[in-house]
């Protein structure tokens, strides 16, 4: 883990907590934690936080058995994160987008065939 890079990238402990929650599969909690920052931030990072929040909410919807909601939230989240590529606030945005897009494709194909795919949520990686 790249603690020094992460702390330089974003000193708010809620950011680190939200990313850890995402990586632990606590998607609802991640959404709640990062939403606190999103509500306060009215600058250039606002859509970055919103993108991660939407992706986390999409995985939560998938856990609830609502694949259509997951697909919609993932698409919106990826769209919001794309301008921050390749990396932002110490996060590998490209790696996250690539993993979410793979899940999007798999779920979309399986939703049509009404199969129940075993989607593996990605981890959010810090760059060193």
- Could you write out the three-class secondary structure of 38-100? HHHCCCCCHHHHHHHHHHHHHHHHHHCCCHHHHHHHHHHHHHHHHHHCCEECCEEHHHHHHHH
pLDDT tens for each residue of 50-93 = 999 999 999 999 999 899 999 999 999 999 999 999 999 999 99
Looking at residue 109, its pLDDT comes to 82
Average pLDDT, the chain: 88
pLDDT tens for each residue of 9-23 = 467 899 999 999 999
pLDDT tier for residue 31 given thresholds of 50, 70 and 90: very high
Looking at residue 27, its pLDDT comes to 97
Looking at residue 36, its pLDDT comes to 94
Looking at residue 110, its pLDDT comes to 75
In which region does residue 119 sit, left (phi positive, over 0), alpha (psi from -120 to 50) or beta (all else)?
beta
Secondary structure in 3-state letters for 93-126: HHHHHHHHHHHHHHHHHHHHHCCCCCCCCCCCCE
Q: How many CB atoms lie within 10 A of CB 98?
A: 13
Inter-axis angle of helices 46-63 and 67-81, to 10 degrees? Answer: 160
Residue 1 confidence (pLDDT) above 60: no
Looking at residue 117, its pLDDT comes to 66
Percent of the chain with pLDDT strictly greater than 70: 86
- For the domain with range 3-113, which CATH number is right: 1.20.1070.10, 2.160.10.10, 3.40.50.720, 1.10.3450.10? 1.10.3450.10
β-strand partners of 87: 92
């Amino acid at each position: 883990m790249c603690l020094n890079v992460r702390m330089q990238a974003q000193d708010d402990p809620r950011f680190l907590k939200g990313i850890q929650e995402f990586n632990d599969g606590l998607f609802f909690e991640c959404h709640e934690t990062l939403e606190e920052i999103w509500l306060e931030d009215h600058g250039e990072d606002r859509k970055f936080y919103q993108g991660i929040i939407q992706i986390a909410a999409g995985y939560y919807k998938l856990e609830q058995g609502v694949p259509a909601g997951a697909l919609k939230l993932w698409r919106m989240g990826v769209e919001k994160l794309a301008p921050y590529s390749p990396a932002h606030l110490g996060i590998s945005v490209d790696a996250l987008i690539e993993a979410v897009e793979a899940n999007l494709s798999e779920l979309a194909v399986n939703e049509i065939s009404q199969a129940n795919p075993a989607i593996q949520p990605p981890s959010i990686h810090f760059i060193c």
